[in-house]
Amino acid sequence: MIPCPPLLATLAAGVALAATLTATLSQERRIPTSPAEVRLSYAPVVQRAAPAVVNVYAARTVATRSNPLFEDPFFRRFFGAPGMPGPNEQQQRSLGSGVLVDPVGLVVTNHHVIDGADQVKVSLADRREFEAEIVLKDARSDLAVLRIKGNGERFPALEFADSDALQVGDLVLAIGNPFAVGQTVTHGIVSALARTQVGITDYQFFIQTDAAINPGNSGGALVDLSGRIVGINTAIFSRGGGSIGIGFAIPANMVRVVVASARGGSSVVRRPWLGARLQAVTSEIADSIGLKRPGGALVTQVTPDSPATRAGLRSGDLIVTLDGQEIEDSNAFDYRFATKMIGGTSRIRLQRAGREMTVTIALEAAPELPREEIIIESRSPFQGATVSNLSPALADQLRLDPAAEGIVIVEIANGSIAQRFFQPGDVLQVVNNQKIARTGDLDRLSRQQTRQWRIVIRRGGQQMSVELRG
């Protein structure tokens, strides 16, 4: 049988196309004619970025006693007597990384690297060492800003990229000092964005990368291929302590806000105050309010006389966007809102009873009151606790109910009596039937000689009554 003419024409065309492809592939397979044709390298990026990445050495001195009996006032009388052991001092050290973000010597690192340190040193890539002072600490974002004592010297510094412009799959480099082996560069991709269930800081919104990050990398730079900071490496997911390709970085847009506060001379980060409690939308909640899928941040409580109240937010509103950016859950809103600068307004699109509407909210700082922070030193259940007057600003910082009354424990000394009964964030409301309104009230009551203590505290949104005997 003779094929019909159209089939012959098709076969001929196919043979011609195959011959053309074969010739093209043969042309691509050739020996490089110069080193430039095979020299694909991240070296130019590293040369720009590496000089601005530093090692951070932090040390703190802690007092220890050889016997816990020496904490008792009776035995304290003998301290200093011949043969009687007294307090010992031990120096605890930590090592991390940091990034120069200003030529005047501002370094950003992780809060957990320098937390509690009374001495901080910075070592540059060229091995020079400088003393540094802590300018700002922000535990909520796990960031801190240091200033190198460099006698007016200008230092290499990196610029910030817009971390919102990152996409999954973008190439990134991680630079730091893992395991104290020296400055190390690893590469990978952005594995995920907006990780909100990591549980590291108050602002759960992380860049995930498979660039190797190990202990000692904390505070180091995650940079793009232009050598700009896209994030600050802060944590890893690991079962054995080393990298398994799941690392997390704080987005540059959050870091930028913290650095701006330090540049402005502030020792704390001033962020906008919403004045409302939010929660994530579960599958059950989504079904109950008629959503096709879980998403958005649900308003559960609105504080009177707050920006949220003045904007018209109500309990039950579902926030879906902030200034046009989609809000997946309450953590995403917290991050987005926290990166806004004080002053001006933002627009929130929400759903209310099946209707969509947009409200405008003022970007204001939470009201602050004199904190009158004191350490309770008298022999009592509160000995070793640092307490502060409660204000909307402090309540927002500690994620407490802004309507709560009393004073709040902000810190507890290790090994203290207070550590046995309380924890930071406890709100003390009543002691021995007397209402606690200011820190001075607790200071006065803690000096009383009594062996019975009736205490009312608020912890985790629940009120508790405690009776202690001593």
- Residue 428: predicted pLDDT: 93
Answer yes or no: is pLDDT of 347 > 90.
yes
pLDDT band at 19 (very low <50, low <70, confident <90, very high): low
The residues carrying an active-site annotation are 112, 142, 218
pLDDT of residue 95: 84
CATH homologous superfamily for the domain 47-148: Trypsin-like serine proteases (2.40.10.10)
CATH superfamily of 163-263: Trypsin-like serine proteases (2.40.10.10)
The per-residue pLDDT for range 383-440, each reduced to its tens digit, is 999 999 998 888 887 878 777 889 999 999 988 988 889 999 999 999 988 999 999 9
Report pLDDT for 240: 62
Span 274-317, pLDDT tens digits:
999 898 888 888 888 778 888 899 999 898 889 999 999 999 99
How many Å apart are CA 329 and CA 319, to the nearest integer?
A: 9
Return the DSSP state at 160.
Answer: B
* Cα–Cα distance, 286 to 301 (Å, whole number): 18
In the numeric block, the tokens 């949104």 are attached to 461
Q: How far is CA 24 from CA 17, 27, 28, in A?
A: 11, 5, 7
Same CATH fold assignment for domains 47-148 and 374-469: no
Tell me what pLDDT residue 27 has. 54
8 Å CB contact between 423 and 412: yes
Give the confidence band of 21 by pLDDT, cuts at 50, 70, 90: very low
Q: What pTM was computed for the model?
A: 0.76
Report the range of poorest mean pLDDT among 3-7, 23-27, 127-131, 442-446.
3-7
Q: Do residues 132 and 146 touch, judged by C-beta distance below 8 A?
A: yes
Of 61-75, 80-94, 297-311, 345-359, the one with minimum mean pLDDT is 61-75
Domain ranges of the chain: 47-148, 163-263, 276-360, 374-469
Instruction: Give the DSSP H or E segment for 20.
Output: helix 5-28
Average pLDDT over the chain reads 83
Place of tokens 């009151």: 369
At residue 462 the predicted structure's pLDDT band, cuts being 50, 70 and 90, is confident
Q: Among 31-40, 173-182, 348-357, whose mean pLDDT is lowest?
A: 31-40
Q: Which helix (H) or strand (E) element contains residue 439?
A: helix 439-446
Question: Is residue 364 over pLDDT 60?
Answer: yes
Q: Domain 276-360, what architecture?
A: Roll (2.30)
- Cα–Cα distance between 179 and 220 in angstroms, integer? 13
Residues 264-280: b if buried by 16+ CB within 10 A, e if exposed: eeeeebbbbbbbbbbeb
Q: For 374-469, CATH number?
A: 2.30.42.60
Closest residue by Cα to residue 306 from 362, 352, 268: 362
Angle among Cα 182, 102, 206 to the nearest 5 degrees reads: 65
C-beta atoms surrounding 175 within 10 Å: 26
